[in-house]
Structure 1
């Protein structure tokens, strides 16, 4: 499965990058395939391991903020691996001349 999620600390002011980096650090340390862009971090794994990473990332932010917002989108497709790259590669093929 792929889980794209965004964790936002609330009640800590406008500059939240340092706290958000704690969530990304958790994802990267997990060993699961992942990618971070300007809006979301996406992690690939089975349900239990991917959701555990999301929880740990939220917990890392909650340790530094009185309130946390979580936005999550999941693509559950049993038997598919490397979807993190394959989905993008498919689109790029259609965009190639």
Structure 2
């Protein structure tokens, strides 16, 4: 047989479930409405990846000279190729190729 405090705890939980049943139902309906309105947004706002998980589309960082997206340095807004060339030509102040 269960302890008396465990029985009382279950009774208390059942009472709380009944007390907040209507509030929980209203919140679930509001969430459902918000999800429906979110899905009606522009396609570019969200997309599904190969796992089927919805993510927000983010603007990809691109080099402002070549448009390359890989090897991008945020501090300069350049790809690694252009950054190296400009550093060799002394076009970026304070940046030089290290050697040791």
Tell me which interval the TM-score lies in, with the shorter structure as reference length.
under 0.3
> Which structure dedicates a bigger proportion of its chain to strand?
1
* TM-score, normalization by structure 2: 0.20
Q: Radius of gyration: which is bigger? A: 2
Per the normalisation by structure 1, the TM-score is 0.21
Between the two structures, name the one with larger relative contact order (CA 8 Å, sep ≥ 6): 1
